């Protein structure tokens, strides 16, 4: 069945207007950032030339090993502490478990505010305050994990079957009892899956935290670049790639078994 003529024209007009606005935005962006679309081609060429000329200097491995372990430790601790801090926030930010609306909106507002700043920025700000090293990294990832996890999990909490909650409330159970006996059993598997997912994100993040002095292998990125030691840089990139791939695969496997 064809659309009425007027409707179709309106739709076509809206489509054209959207495309026009988008092209204009793209043009302004390219002009403002001095980006030429040929750069895509030359950039790709430079990129591959760089890769083909990389001769990994495997002696760098000795230097990489210790910071690599530190990277994983930072990611792990950030995930554990972030999860612990997120746990109470999840229930304050969900409409079906929050004590009242003002508390819920405050919790959500704080979470949105925290999430709007990337983890690397927290690390950059904390490094000069908390001493260069793994501590600012752990704190940065803890803050970020807390906000991301609480947001993801509160969406799950809000989607639970309200039946068990009502049943418990009808028996006179308080808020905590309702959470423990009606909400937790429903979200357990999803929550664990989210924690693993956030751990994946944290491993990725922790590989670059060292760039701002927050510990882990990232500091070597800086060292190799300033030394123009591309052999070492190549090894480092390969190692980061392998570790992230490995952790991702393990996490995906665990998550597929959970759900």
Residues that bind other proteins (CB under 8 A): 25-26, 28-30, 32-35, 39-40, 42-44, 46-47, 49-51, 70, 73-74, 76-77, 80, 112-113, 116-118, 120-121, 124-125, 128-131, 133-135, 138, 171, 173, 181, 204-205, 207-208, 211-212, 215, 221, 225, 230, 233, 237, 240-241, 244-245, 248
Q: What is the distance between the alpha carbons of residues 134 and 70, in angstroms, rounded to a whole number?
A: 7
Q: Minimum Å distance from CB 63 to other proteins?
A: 15
Q: What is the distance between the alpha carbons of residues 138 and 140, in angstroms, rounded to a whole number?
A: 6
Task: For other proteins, give the closer residue by CB, 100 or 222.
Answer: 222
* 56: its two tokens: 């990994």
Task: For other proteins, give the closer residue by CB, 194 or 215.
Answer: 215
Task: For other proteins, give the closer residue by CB, 51 or 58.
Answer: 51
* Closest C-alpha among 105, 86, 79, 85 to residue 94: 105
Task: For other proteins, give the closer residue by CB, 100 or 233.
Answer: 233
Q: Minimum Å distance from CB 203 to other proteins?
A: 9
Q: What is the distance between the alpha carbons of residues 92 and 11, in angstroms, rounded to a whole number?
A: 43
Q: Minimum Å distance from CB 138 to other proteins?
A: 8
Task: For other proteins, give the closer residue by CB, 106 or 112.
Answer: 112
Q: Minimum Å distance from CB 58 to other proteins?
A: 19
Q: What is the DSSP string of 88-126?
A: HHHHHSSTTT-SSHHHHHHHHHHHHHHHTS-HHHHHHHH
Q: Determine the straight-line distance between the first and last CA of the chain, rounded to whole angstroms.
A: 42
Q: Minimum Å distance from CB 244 to other proteins?
A: 5
Task: For other proteins, give the closer residue by CB, 153 or 208.
Answer: 208
Q: What is the distance between the alpha carbons of residues 245 and 104, in angstroms, rounded to a whole number?
A: 37
3-state secondary structure of 208: helix
Q: Minimum Å distance from CB 135 to other proteins?
A: 6
* 50: its two tokens: 């760089």
């Amino acid at each position: 069945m064809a659309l009425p003529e007027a409707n179709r024209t309106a739709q076509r007009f809206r489509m054209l207007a959207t495309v026009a606005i988008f092209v204009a935005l793209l043009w302004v962006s390219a002009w403002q950032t001095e980006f030429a679309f040929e750069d895509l081609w030359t950039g790709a060429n430079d990129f591959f030339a760089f890769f083909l000329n990389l001769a990994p200097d495997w002696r760098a491995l000795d230097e990489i090993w210790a910071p690599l372990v530190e990277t994983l430790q930072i990611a792990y601790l950030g995930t554990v502490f972030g999860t612990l801090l997120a746990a109470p926030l999840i229930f304050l930010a969900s409409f079906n478990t929050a004590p009242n609306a003002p508390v819920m909106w405050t919790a959500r507002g704080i979470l949105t505010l925290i999430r709007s700043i990337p983890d690397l920025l927290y690390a950059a700000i904390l490094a000069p305050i908390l001493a260069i090293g793994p501590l600012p990294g752990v704190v940065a990832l803890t803050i970020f994990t807390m906000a991301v996890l609480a947001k993801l999990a509160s969406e799950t909490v809000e989607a639970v079957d309200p039946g068990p909650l009502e049943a418990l409330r009808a028996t006179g159970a308080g808020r905590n009892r309702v959470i423990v006996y009606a909400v937790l059993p429903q979200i357990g598997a999803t929550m664990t899956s989210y924690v693993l997912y956030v751990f994946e994100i944290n491993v990725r993040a922790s590989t670059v935290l060292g760039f701002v002095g927050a510990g882990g292998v990232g500091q070597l990125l800086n060292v190799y670049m300033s030394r123009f030691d591309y052999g070492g840089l190549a090894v480092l990139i390969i190692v980061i790639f392998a570790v992230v791939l490995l952790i991702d695969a393990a996490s995906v496997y665990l998550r597929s078994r959970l759900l």
